[in-house]
Structure 1
């Protein structure tokens, strides 16, 4: 259903007068890449975005993004329709009560950890590694999907912003695209072992609940290189990888970049 919506949206774009190319998923959770815009100024809803020397730029749409976005490239402006999605409800029971409703004295720690994660996602690196053909960071059953409304121990909570891949503790996690490690830390309250890769222009991957981190902050990694191992750290009921993608503050759907899960 999602793929049929994407095709309908993409083929309806008119060719821009300036001649740049635009591809990707014009849908909530999607990411779009522009090319051939060298030397041109690009804005998304009036906000400037980075353009590489060879004319590549990127932008994305969060879970509940508005129905349209205004893209301006040089002197050309077009309004892009953003397809809406329906999200499933996911119930997770059996979590320790302190992980669902943290004690007041724990909230300061959680806020500090979230602030550090936000800093790692704020980099605007000039590289365009996000434009690669992405791969799955781990292969296994998909146990949680992007956008699902989570009900934890019977209480409605924030939506899930990643895709969960189930696997035994110790299962390798590899880089889905080239990047620079911006965050690598164990023991976070909600996310446990957490790693963030910077893929350029504000696009980052976050890997959560890891049992082992095999890279360090500042390290350059290439697509397919082992970066971590699946675990059951933080708020979980079993071992799995929670993989998330951001374009700055916009939370994107990783499955729209990699397609179907390969067979084990």
Structure 2
């Protein structure tokens, strides 16, 4: 049979192929693909859900996550900054009440409350059988202190683009802990002010390292009456560090610092009985215990 005849018969009989005389090539007729099946149902990616990591306690810091539909968050009426991914932190003062409320505002305008139970702490209380003394009242102190307090308040109110609040904090110095957050003396029944940070006994000139990324918001150009040479760093989301009694500052206001960067040297300036580093932490005005944020002080 000739190829021409085979081609004609293929037209009638729908033959699938033709072999040319004396050749080995095969021309195949490819059947059209079957109609595509309807696409399978695609499950959308998981939406953000509400989460709170850790148990609230006095002096503590807790991290959390808001749901996708949440647009604003407050803690007892105080604004809680939210990251673009919905992450947030909240802190609890040394004297935080037994209960507080996280309130969220959703995109549709609805509200949702999350009651929190704040665990109490047992503080180091020293009772002294002596009358309470109000503190320094020298004319020079009275003249200088208002400007110092104003500078500190302005620094704490400064908000930057720092994202160190997302990091795991590290101690700015290693050594023997010599002062505890929340400790307090009571003079014949009248309480004095409590210790607002944690102290590490280190020699003058010991490097002070940034506990997390941040932006310098105060670098005192002279010793303050109580704090001495004072350095303050904003870590973002309302969280900030203060380093007191320094002998030297290595950074300036506006500098961005990285975790572990040498930012100062320890000392004994201001009201200090000996060389040490005082590290204080605050979140939106709530004073926090550095031990609950960074863990135990590493040995020197």
Query: Match for 2:153 among 106, 115, 118?
Result: 118
Query: Match for 2:62 among 24, 32, 39?
Result: 32
Supply the distance in 1 between the matched residues of 2:51 and 2:191 (Cα, whole angstroms): 41
Aligned to 1:81: 117
Aligned to 1:252: 288
Classify 1:36/1:174 alpha carbon distance in 2 versus 1 (closer, same or farther; 3 Å): same
Classify 1:87/1:190 alpha carbon distance in 2 versus 1 (closer, same or farther; 3 Å): same
Unaligned 5+ segments in structure 1 are 1-17, 93-97
Which has the higher relative contact order, 1 or 2, with Cα contacts under 8 A spaced 6 or more apart?
1
Supply the distance in 1 between the matched residues of 2:278 and 2:228 (Cα, whole angstroms): 11
Supply the distance in 2 between the matched residues of 1:234 and 1:257 (Cα, whole angstroms): 26
Q: How does 1:1-264 map to 2 (within 5 A)?
A: 19-37=49-67, 40-73=71-104, 74=106, 75-89=111-125, 100-150=135-185, 157-185=192-220, 186-264=222-300
Supply the distance in 2 between the matched residues of 1:54 and 1:211 (Cα, whole angstroms): 40
Task: Give per-residue Cα distances to partners, 1:94-130, cap 9 Å, x unaligned.
Answer: xxxx994231442231121011101111123344321
| Larger Cα-atom Rg | 2
SS at structure 1 position matched to 2:278? strand
Task: Give per-residue Cα distances to partners, 1:134-185, cap 9 Å, x unaligned.
Answer: 1000001000000000479xx9531100000000000000000000000001
Structure number with the higher strand fraction is: 1
Q: Is the 8 A contact 1:37 1:51 kept in 2?
A: no
Aligned length: 241
SS at structure 2 position matched to 1:159? coil
Q: Please identify runs of 4+ aligned residues in structure 1 that moved more than 6 A.
A: none
Unaligned 5+ segments in structure 2 are 1-47
Q: Is the 8 A contact 2:53 2:62 kept in 1?
A: yes
